[in-house]
Structure 1
Amino acid sequence: MALVAGLLPSVGYCAGISFGLMDASINGIHQAMRSGTLTCHSLVQQYLDRIQAYDKQGPALNAMLYVNPDALEQADAMDRQFKRTGKISSLYCIPTVLKDNYDTADMPTTAGSASLAGAQPPQDAYVVSQLKKNGALILGKTNLQEFALGGVTVSSLGGQTKNPYDLKLTPGGSSGGTAAALAANFATVGTGSDTANSLRSPASANSLVSIRPTLGLVSRAGIVPVSFTQDEAGPITRSVSDAARMLDVMAGYDAADPVTALSDGHIPKTYTAFLDKTGLKGARIGVLEALFGKGPEDQEVNRVMANAIDMLKKNGAIVVPIAAPELDTDRLNADLDVQKYEYKSSINSYLNTYSPKAPAHSLDDIINSGKTNQSLQKFLLSAQSYKNGLNETAYKDRLIKIHALKIDLANLMAENHLDAAVYPHQKRLPVPIGEYDQSERNGILAALTGFPSIVVPAGFASPTDDAPRGVPVGIEFIGRPWSEPQLIRYTYGFEQATHARKMPASTPSLARY
């Protein structure tokens, strides 16, 4: 597997030239294939051409770490299969990008770190195997905040990814490579991971949809870990319908991640059954006021959120203001987050699954390599300082507080008869490139409780010279455990009422298409 630069196929004839690639959906792609106006080869070629045009030149988004050199060959095989059988599986020939902390047996998995350059997992992550089993074509691996430890998507191996809506801003993190790639139409769908904010922050910053599932719905096995208490994996897409289709494939029991046994009995036949345009009607939605910013830097987000809340009301939702100062996310991050206590044991256990030829087999090896981005040093050294973080009194105290938080949030929703609650995922807009701290994010609430949440585009900040269409703002919906069907209903209803997503100006349609 090779790095992107200079290794993409040359442009060729596209049988699906009349097909509209920009913001194409899974369903739209499959309809075009069934009608004979699109082939798998032409679809993949068009995405490869966009990567070539925009990832390392032009706006130079720097979203991709690797591109699959066998993508066109695999597309041809899928075209032959479709011609022979006439059958299309749920993700047949859907070009998919993976955050580069998902194990792939046919390409390196490095978590964006030069300390793991060339590391080759022995097998695909469970979720990757499920995607492939259902027909997905893995187009490549995306950049991320190194080891998924931060919110601005910069890594020692991949460098800095840019936000396609404002090239001077970061794309959020840690799954910002996937988000920038999807916003720029480099692929149809993608994956991310989330320990505190990392699926939902880049979705918010790139006018996308992401689902952080209930803890136990999606396997984390084969994904470079941070915290077994807080880690989760999920889809990032341009629409709620595509996210629901991805969740159909990703959800399920995996013996390698025993917590997924809790999902038994909680997975519907298909999440697409809950794509209801009138889904907000009668829903009782709480607005968590403590999760809104009060400073001047927060006012653009607050303006967009005010409009979003008005849309909830106009589309039949019953909106209930909830003060809940105990849910203040600054306090939750400071007092309950357990990443630094769990990291050493988590990463050491993961690295032990690699072959003896892997460049690092422990946190000590990573630190001693001297090959990590400077933004990680404080966290890595803090995690290393614990002989066994799992035995720390402070860690055990935090676990007790996390359990209490779950009860408090469930009780808050029960007392107020809420079907879901909403708030801005980020109180302020994404930070400029060069800053390493994306502050004022609200993702920790779902990360600690394990309750499901979905971020969906809410609108845009005011346009500027650098962001001619504005910078995206995402609204987050949180629900009770296993309420993904209901959250999909509400977010789809909101999406269809607002049509808030806009494509970035920096990566327009290519003239030849």
Structure 2
Amino acid sequence: MTHASIAPVRRATLLAGIGLATVGALVAGATPAYAADDSVSYLAPEYQVGELTGDGKVDTDDLAILMTAVGKTSADADWETVAAADADGDGVITVLDVAALSKAYLYDDDPFEILETDVVAVQKAMTAGVLTSEQLTAEYLNRIAAYDRVAGIDPATPAEMLEAIVATNPNAMAEAKALDAERATTGPRSILHGIPVLVKDNINTLDMATTAGCACLADNRTSTDAETVERLKAMGAIVIAKANLSEFAQSTASSISKYGTTRNAYGLGRDPGGSSGGTGASVSANLGVFGLGTDTGGSVRVPSSFNALVGIRPTIGLVSREGVIPLDLYRDTVGPMARSVSDAALALDALAGSDPMDAVTAGADGVKPLSYAQALDPKALQGKRIGYISGLVSGNQNAVGFRLVRGAFADLEAAGATVIDVGSFGSVNGYGLSSLPGSSSFTHDMNEYLNAYYRPGYTFADLAQRVTDAATSGGPTLSTWSAATVRGWASTSDATRDAAYPNFSRTQQAMRDRVDQLMTQYDLDAVIYPSTGGTVGSPASNNRISAFSGYPAVSVPMGFADSTLDETSYSGFPMGLEFLAEPYSESKLLGFAYAYEQQTQHRRPTTLFPDLAG
């Protein structure tokens, strides 16, 4: 529908104050670049205040209604039709109420800035017609070309390169152009329409090979996208590149593969964490709006901590793992990594849901909200009881982690929460966090993946033999791991797996019981702990609480190391704070993370990857 009765208004003009003459001009204004029905819904509470038409978005429809209601008072019979937009609560609709409502309209015709942009800012610019998806996609591809495989970026380590991207999508520009045409004719599909994103290279993509970082899978061109990628594309997102990882997702400390050694976005002399380090470094370096990682033991949250990102490990069963090269399907999950809590929540909106190809997600549709953005309330921590699990910081009392945790206590309390020290986590089923037993399912799960997506009947042992043959041929090797190591991974029998499962299962249940006990004993809304033992180089085992319980966790930036305040050799590198609670509590956790983020604004951009235009 085209609305010729009102033109979009520069937010700066509205905020400066508008008069009745201006209102009259607006009512008689020209058609906007995109019609009101072509704007998008963003269900964060602050963007719903004053919404009048019931379509879940503030747009020119709402502004037109309110403008024609200027002068209406609470004594009027039809007051209830506009009362929600009486921003100052004075019982009269004035131009100040119109100005307040305009702030919730996803429209901004100021010059667009790519650095640290987010989904909402992109949609505002696209709705205003000052940015297209084709332009934005080209900008990100240019940034990848300019920064990913180029030396001399970091003066401290001039020989190092970021090496976060394995491949770019050859069809990205065509997809962006098609999505722009779709927006112009039928409107955007969702708030993710035209958004360029990055995907870890163990998640199937139709347009690019899926290698898990091993050249032995360079020819793994799957005929379908993974379910998570399909969901993003269905919402209008564009996968512009595959991100590097620790080969076969085996390390949380680093992200080294046959496609490069990914470095940290805040200093190329340091590791980014793993195994989703390519996603972490590239999103932090502003090479895409947000990205996908996978998390088995901490592989979303460790690189999020080390690159000042928000990372979500969802409840096992909320997000499909179909089409993902596995490590341990009892613990594997896919999660978003973003520069803001809002973007992470919007990504999770697309990812969450039931998938018949992944049986554990059968109940997901019944537990996901209309939008996780509905939880993004800056007051979400008020009156909440947050339990701090102690003993998970690396180093002595002068280490960076202790200072940042003390600061987090103060920040949480300033946001209205009560923080309770619940003591150390202790052991579960006789194991400490660093020595928890695995399920020995890697071989089994890889066999199933290879048979389904690579070649019928092909096994992990066949793949290991390919690695061995290359290693003994005198030519280029196919893996950064030794052939013996890969053969060892591929040799676990089903009998060994079956024997390992009972103890693994008991440990999982003991982990859940311990979390439940803490939540009940202290009447907690969530628990917190540092996402990693320290900043870069200290992944530790904190992240295993979520990984082995299957409970959701959100990592959010907690601050940066500072050599003037800490005993550290990692000054200027970040560290995250992790929130964890009961299964399917992602909405609550995102609300807490958002309130903490808004209270602190701890993320600061890296200076190594400036705007190319600058």
Q: Same fold (TM over 0.5)?
A: yes
Instruction: Classify the secondary structure of the residue corresponding to 2:229.
Output: helix
> Deviation per CA, 1:103-139, whole angstroms, max 9, x where unpaired?
0122101111111112111211011100000000111
> Per the alignment, do residues 71 and 203 of structure 1 end up closer, same or farther by CA in structure 2, a change over 3 Å counting?
same
Counterpart secondary structure, 1:193: strand
Of 37-46 and 181-190, more deviation after overlay is shown by 37-46
Aligned partner of 2:460 in structure 1 is 362
Which of 272, 276, 281 is residue 373 of structure 2 equivalent to? 272
Q: Does the aligned pair in 2 maintain the 1:336–1:402 contact within 8 Å? A: no
Q: What's the counterpart of residue 436 of structure 2?
A: 336
**Of 158, 168, 171, which residue of structure 2 is paired with 1:70?**
171
Q: Secondary structure at the match of 1:273?
A: helix
Q: How much has 1:326 moved relative to structure 2?
A: 1.6
Per-residue deviation at 1:293?
A: 2.8
SS in 1 for 2:551: coil
1:503 to 605, 608, 613: 605
Q: Larger Cα Rg: Structure 1 or Structure 2?
A: 2
Deviations along 1:31-51, one digit per CA (max 9) or x if unpaired, are: 101111111111111111211
Give yes or no for contact 2:345–2:372 (8 Å, CA) kept in 1.
Answer: yes
Distance 2:365 2:189 in 1: 27
Q: Cα–Cα, structure 1 residues 160 and 56, in superposed 2: closer, same or farther, change >3 Å?
A: same
Q: For 2:297 and 2:495, how far apart are their aligned partners in 1? A: 19
**2:220 is matched with which residue?**
119
1:301 to 391, 394, 401: 401
1:196 equivalent in alignment to 2:289? no
- Structure 1 contact 156–372 (Cα < 8 Å) conserved: no
Paired residue secondary structure (1:230) = coil
Within the alignment, does 1:281 sit opposite 2:370 as a pair?
A: no
Residue deviations 1:69-96, cap 9 Å, x none? 2222221112212222233522101001
Q: Is the 8 A contact 2:202 2:325 kept in 1?
A: yes
CA contact (8 A) 2:443 2:493 kept: no
How far did residue 468 of structure 1 move? 9.7
Q: Report the equivalent of 2:527.
A: 421
81-90 or 34-43: bigger deviation: 81-90
Name the aligned partner's letter for residue 358 of structure 2.
Answer: D
Which range is displaced more, 211-220 or 285-294? 285-294
Q: 1:217 aligns with which of 304, 318, 343?
A: 318
Matched ranges for 1:55-66 at <5 A: 55-57=148-150, 58-59=152-153, 60-66=161-167
Preserved contact between residue 99 and residue 144 of structure 1 (Cα < 8 Å) = yes
- Cα pair distance change 1:146/1:474, threshold 3 Å: same
Write the distance in 2 (CA, Å) between the matches of 1:265 and 1:357: 34
Matched residue type, 2:519:
M
Which region of structure 1 is more displaced relative to structure 2, 91-100 or 116-125?
A: 116-125
Structure 2 distance, partners of 1:362, 1:319, is: 48
User: Structure 2 vs 1, CA of residues 153 and 325 (structure 1 numbering), >3 Å: closer, same or farther?
Assistant: closer
Structure 1 stretch displaced more, 94-103 or 104-113: 104-113
Q: Contact 1:289/1:321 (CA < 8 Å) preserved in 2?
A: yes
1:95 aligns with 2:196: yes
Code of the aligned partner of 1:278: K
Q: 1:439 to 1:312 in 2, by over 3 A?
A: closer
| 1:314-363 C-alpha deviation (Å, 9 max, x unpaired) | 11111000113425899444543315x110101111011134499x6424
Aligned equivalent of 1:134, options 235, 240, 245: 235
Q: 1:68 touches 1:139 (CA, 8 Å); kept in 2?
A: yes
Mapped pair 1:347 → 2:446? yes
Report the secondary structure of 2:452's partner residue.
coil
Give the distance between the partners of 1:206 and 1:246, measured in 2 at CA: 18
Does the 8 Å contact 1:468/1:505 carry over to 2?
A: no
- Root-mean-square deviation (CA, aligned residues, Å) is 2.5
Q: Quote the Cα distance in structure 1 between the aligned partners of 2:557 and 2:482.
A: 30
Determine which of 523, 539, 542 is the counterpart of 1:442: 542
* Aligned sequence identity (%): 36
Q: CA deviation at 1:280?
A: 1.1
Q: 1:330 to 1:19 in 2, by over 3 A?
A: farther
**Aligned AA for 2:599?**
A
TM-score scaled by structure 2?
Answer: 0.75
CA offsets 1:124-178 (integer angstroms, 9 cap, x no match): 1011100000000111100000111112443442120010112111000000101
The amino acid that maps onto 1:68 is N
Q: 1:385 to 1:357 in 2, by over 3 A?
A: closer
Residue of structure 2 in register with 1:315 after alignment: 415
Give TM-score, length-normalised by structure 1: 0.89
- SS at 1:101's partner residue? coil
Structure 2 counterpart of 1:456, one-letter code:
V
Letter in 1 for 2:148: D
Partner of 1:13 in structure 2?
none
**Residues 433 and 541, structure 2, Cα contact 8 Å, conserved in 1:** no
Distance 1:376 1:24 in 2: 41
Structure 1 partner of 2:265: 164
Q: Is the 8 A contact 1:291 1:327 kept in 2?
A: no
Number of residues of Structure 1 aligned to a counterpart in Structure 2: 487
Check the 8 A contact 1:192/1:234 in 2, yes or no.
Answer: yes
Unaligned 5+ runs, structure 1? 1-15, 432-437
- Map of 1:39 onto structure 2: 132
Q: What residue identity is the alignment partner of 1:369?
A: V
Given the superposition, is the C-alpha separation of residues 369 and 391 from structure 1 closer, same or farther in structure 2, using an over 3 Å criterion?
Answer: closer
Cα contact 1:155–1:373 (8 A) shared by 2: no
Aligned equivalents of 2:429 and 2:203: distance in 1? 28
Report the counterpart of residue 175 of structure 1 in structure 2: 276
Tell me the SS of whatever aligns to 1:323: strand
Amino acid at match of 1:29: V
Question: Partners of 1:474 and 1:126 in 2: how far apart?
Answer: 29
Contact 1:288 1:322 in 2 (8 A): yes
Q: Which amino acid aligns with 1:142?
A: A
The 3 A distance-change label for structure 1 pair 367 and 31 is same
SS of aligned partner of 2:134: helix
Q: Which position in structure 2 is the counterpart of 1:12? A: none
Equivalent residue in structure 1 for 2:117, among 9, 14, 24? 24
- 2: distance between equivalents of 1:329 and 1:463? 39
SS, match of residue 128 in structure 1: helix
Q: Which residue of 2 aligns with 1:454?
A: 554
Counterpart residue identity of residue 323, structure 1: G
Alpha-carbon contact 1:302-1:427 (below 8 Å) kept: no
Deviation at 1:368, TM superposition (A): 4.6
Name the SS of the counterpart of 1:130 in structure 2: helix
Q: Deviations over 1:214-271 (max 9, x none)?
A: 1100001101001111111111111000111011110000011100013242111111
Say whether 1:493 aligns with 2:602: no
Structure 2: segments with no counterpart, 5+ residues: 1-108, 154-160, 469-476
Q: CA deviation at 1:393?
A: 3.4
- Does the residue aligned with 1:291 lie in a helix, a strand or coil? coil
Q: In structure 2, what is the equivalent of residue 7 of structure 1?
A: none
* 1:367 shift after superposition: 5.3
